[in-house]
A and B are shown apart, each in its own frame.
Chain A
Amino acid sequence: MEHILSLLVFFPAMAALLGFMVNKESIRAYAIGVSAIEFFLSIILWIGFDASNAGYQFVEYFALIPSYGMSYYLGVDGISLFLVILTTFTTMIALIALNIEKDIKNLILSVLFLEMAMVGVFVILDIIWFYAFWELSLVPMLYIIGAWGSTRRVYAAIKFFLYTFAGSILMLVGILYMAHLYYQATGVWSFALPDWYMMQIPFTTQLWLFGAFFLAFAVKVPMFPFHTWLPYAHGQAPTIGSIILAAVLLKMGSYGFVRFSLPLFPDASVYFLMPVAIVAIIMVIYAAMVAYAQEDMKQVIAYSSISHMGIVVLGTFAMNAEGITGSIFLMLSHGIVSGALFMLVGMIYDRRHTKLMKDFGGLASVMPGFATIYGIMLMASVGLPLTIGFVGEFLSLAGFYRISWVMTMLAGTGIILGAVYMLVLYKRSFFGAVVHEENKTLKDLNAKELTALIPLVALVVILGIYPKPVLSTIDMSVQKMLVLMEQKAVEQSTKDLIINANTVGGTK
């Protein structure tokens, strides 16, 4: 068990290298096998995970360049554990549903390399490595969109790459400066996150550093107004690219807020709380309205992702255990639900080669199975209780209520607007009469598609009814982080806000 994290990170990459030797006919089975083993490994990780320990577990440490404090340092806690599982699970499901024939081998190898980068981002504790994985995740995605996308794929791929890459450059500067600060304070270099956590940073320095990290995360999430790469990327990407992009890559940004911004710069996070929250609310409302205006089913879901990520950001900046735990859970649930929705859109696209809602109508009578699963995912997306979508949304909003009730109400309009664009989408595509001749003969879901979808449906229901094992594990680490934030904050007002945000009662 000591090396399970290394195994998790590098197994897909090793398998991808070996995969060059697998012939084209069996590569699909090979990839599903590899991703299943990887998923199985992550489940072993969960089983072995001590839910009563809030700190890092399965830690691996190996000093690489001691003179510069660079090391190979892995560890997982309640915050990252489920994001790892989400990554391995989504990759497996996406590979099962994959039905591209063109250059399938290259595509699959790209996906496996991508899996390495994604798992790496979530379990690495050394920041240089983190940065490397962070940027490395762009390359396979660039290739996936650029090579297997629709007509404007090259434009979309380059836009995606350059935009997110440019956003991260400042983060690199911030990382180097942090290390320098650590060197000034202690006399030794270190890029290890737990070391950085111990460091108190002066207030103004925090503000600058927060800004440097913020841009990288904000582009990734993506936050308004840095979001325009996303609709292009989703619009052009093949289904598997969209699934992974929505389910996992966006979560890297919101994970960054929880893992870096909050615990490293507590005072700055509190200082920037209101501006960030305002942007988050704009995201929720604005993206929901833009989603409503879309003609293309996939674009609706792309914009709805932005809207939901607004709630995630809001929950993260609630500065209390309810909100942050909720936002992490919402990351998971959004990963599953939006992944499933993109997969469903991909399935109808394969049949009709269009994603425009006006080309459908009445699908419920032609494809009842498809309509049912779509309906379940839709209800999870609008946050119906007893589906996975409710828990995170409820907790995030509940958490932020302690900070500001007016802003919570504004963000809460997301539950109304979400219902508006989703139900209108459903009505236009699934209800009504079948007006187009081509739609009358559409086939319902086949066995392969059901294999990919049923686990997602099961998760939506199971985690909606019994989210507690996941929530309590996340909550433990979140509470530990909040204690750390409170302790290391340099301003008294920050300490007061964090304590107040985590206390029930009083007049506010």
Chain B
Amino acid sequence: MEKYLYIALFAPLASSLFVALFAARPKMLFTGIVASLLIGVSMIASFILLIDVNNYGPLHVTMMDWISAGNLSIPFGFVVDEVSVIMMVTVTLVSTIVHIYSIGYMDHDKSFNRFFSYLSAFVFSMMILVMSDNFVGLFIGWEGVGLCSWLLIGFWYHKHSASWAANEAFIMNRIADLGMLMGLFLIYWQLGSFQYDVVFANVKHLDPAIITTIGIFLFIGAMGKSAQFPLHTWLADAMEGPTPVSALIHAATMVTAGVYLVIRCGELYTLIPHVGFAIASLGAFVALFAASMALVNNDLKRIIAYSTLSQLGYMFVAAGLGAYWIALFHLMTHAFFKSLLFLGAGNVMHAMHDELNIKKMGGLYGSMKATAILMSIASVALAGIYPFAGFFSKDKILEVAFNEGAYFLWFALFIGAGLTAFYSFRLVMLVFFGEKEYKKQGLHPHEAQNFVIYALVPLGLLAIVAGFFEHAFHGFVTKLLRNYEIHIDHGVEAILIAATLGIAISGIAFAIYMYKRGGFPKSLEERACYKILSNQYFIPYAYERFIMKPFTALSHFFWVSIDTKIIDATVDLIARVFYKSGEKARKMQSGNLSDMLRWMVMGIVVLLIFAILYRPTV
């Protein structure tokens, strides 16, 4: 079975390197096909491993040594257990579809080949991230996906906004990475190893204060990748990248790496429930916070990005409260319907010639039925309507919050569910139904190529049926993860489910009702609360004003005032003192005999005084 492990891991790398050979050439169709095939191979290997893990248990290999110094020793080791194999399957499945989709989407792009090289490199990094058997290996993948995200957000680098967003994402993630590194160092100096098995076996013997510190540091790392408040601004800006990238990296896989980390460290977080509760609270806050921003935004992709942010919040609630398998389940179902939503949005963008403002679309159902249906399925799943996938996973998270007695969190998520339903259908209504605003711009939208639609069908199916795998999934992953049972009275549970479904359906109904009638009045946009929301609570502005500006000014001050005017000037001053005194002293050597004699007398006097006064002690 090791063979399949290496195939699953290295097929994406092979794909990336092979395609990179043609990166500088004009578009070659076969690069896209080869890349898709190799990622497909990786997916098949992952599925084989899934069956294998189910039958025979986890697989653990050590490939070779990497770093060793002092007591430290880090190998390249990989583990395929119940958690990582679920991640592998999810990642490769979505990646394969995104690769195939991109053949169509990037059709006219002159950097077609380069795109596939980056995309496959991303899949490789993600596989390293989920398959590593130690924290530093995870960190390789962690930084690797960060690099690929940078490359892909800034893929159209001639656009200022794209390269700016790429840098923002990288730097924000770096801030969080520092926290993560600190966590790793602490783990090492406490336990002497980075291996998961060693760390989790021994972590319970540590001082609770230290476990808490480790937990906080690692979560800071997770906050960066999963774009949790206050490190969330990069995710919406990352929508500058090509849409398949948004679907794969910024919806389905990379942004869930933080959730994966918390799930993976479940045994550590179980020991520190107070930190877990803080994570859950932050998650619930982000769930509402992001959903509120999605309500008023008019940018097709940004709405979905905020929705992703909000759903990540849901996952953190589950993970923080100790329901790791539920968090992982939502992670998986979310990957399916959210990538579908993004890819559908990509079709819309193509049809609309890269127009992103949903207010300028409308009535696209007529010309793109398949996309409209797929996106509606994804939206229903996202809203959490039975029997779609989102219902099963999201409802469980609400039940967990209720079960833990965290009624406040439950209420936040409950409201969030209503908002989610509303903004999802606001988007669907504004894009596919109502007035055909696009006609004013003289556009003739057309449906995407057939193979692109076919590639999306599996995701559509999964968005419908994935929820029914709940029991099988539960039984499978809880072999490794701590089991979490919900003990709520059946009657209460039924009421909760009904309430959640109720608020979701009313959200949808409200959106349909309002936008059938032409939407909200314009006057609403003048209100302060609308302005706050549409400006993202002025947070990006505040970062620019209170962090970037002062940093730039301080850097400049350090350079101009301190480095040049103080430090270097002091050095030059010392040099000048020597130089000038030499210059002045030169006059003594005038060559005039009487002057020279006078100096000589003076010298003798000085020497005499010295001889009289100085008494060596020896």
Interface residues in chain A, defined as those with a beta carbon under 8 Å from any beta carbon in chain B: 159, 162-163, 225, 227-229, 286, 289-290, 292-294, 320-322, 325-326, 329, 362, 364-365, 368-369, 379, 382, 384-386, 390-391, 394-395, 397-399, 401-402, 405, 408-409, 412-413, 415-416, 419-420, 423-424, 427, 430-433, 465-468, 471-472, 474-475, 478-479, 502, 504-505, 507-508
Contact = CB atoms under 8 A, between A and B. Distances in A.
B64 interface: yes
Contacts of B556: 293
Given A290-B558, A504-B191, A475 B69 contact: yes
Contacts of A229: 571
Nearest to B137: A385
Nearest to A379: B147
B67 A502 contact: no
A431 B70 CA distance: 42
Interface of B: 23-24, 64-72, 136, 139-140, 143-144, 147, 150, 154, 157-158, 160, 163-164, 166-167, 170-171, 174-175, 177-178, 181-182, 184-186, 188-192, 207, 210, 551-552, 554-556, 558-560, 563, 567-568, 571, 575
Contacts of A409: 178, 182
A467 B67 contact: yes
A395 B67 contact: yes
Contact of A412 (B170, B181, B551): B181
Identify which of A293, A326, A409, A427 gathers the most chain B CB atoms within 10 Å of its CB: A293
B191 A292 contact: no
17 contacts: A228-B567, A228-B568, A320-B70, A322-B72, A325-B70, A368-B23, A369-B24, A399-B70, A401-B189, A405-B186, A415-B174, A419-B174, A431-B160, A468-B65, A475-B70, A502-B70, A504-B188
Given A427-B163, A432-B163, A507-B207, A420 B171 contact: yes
Contacts of A290: 555, 558-559, 563
Contacts of B68: 468, 471-472, 475
A401 B154 CA distance: 35
A387 B154 CA distance: 21
A423 B558 contact: no
B185 A228 contact: no
Nearest to A400: B185
A401 B186 contact: yes
A416 to B, nearest CB: 5
A126 to B, nearest CB: 30
Given A397-B185, A466-B64, A504 B192 contact: yes
Nearest to A428: B163
A504 B136 CA distance: 17
B555 A292 contact: yes
A470 B144 CA distance: 24
3 nearest A-B residue pairs (beta carbon): A321-B70, A504-B192, A431-B163
Nearest to A299: B559
A507 B207 CA distance: 8
Nearest to A224: B567
B69 A293 contact: no
A504 B71 contact: yes
B185 A401 contact: yes
Contacts of A394: 67, 136, 181
A382 B190 CA distance: 27
Contacts of B560: 293
A402 B167 contact: no
A430 B157 contact: yes
A475 B166 CA distance: 38
A401 B184 CA distance: 10
Contacts of B558: 286, 289-290, 293
A397 B181 contact: yes
Contacts of A159: 571, 575
Given A290-B559, A394-B181, A508-B189, 5 more contacts: A368-B24, A415-B181, A474-B69, A479-B70, A505-B190
Given A405-B185, A504-B191, A362 B174 contact: no
A471 B67 contact: yes
Nearest to A502: B70
Contacts of A228: 563, 567-568, 571
B196 to A, nearest CB: 17
A322 B185 CA distance: 11
Contacts of A431: 154, 157-158, 160, 163
B189 to A, nearest CB: 6
A398 B184 CA distance: 9
B552 to A, nearest CB: 7
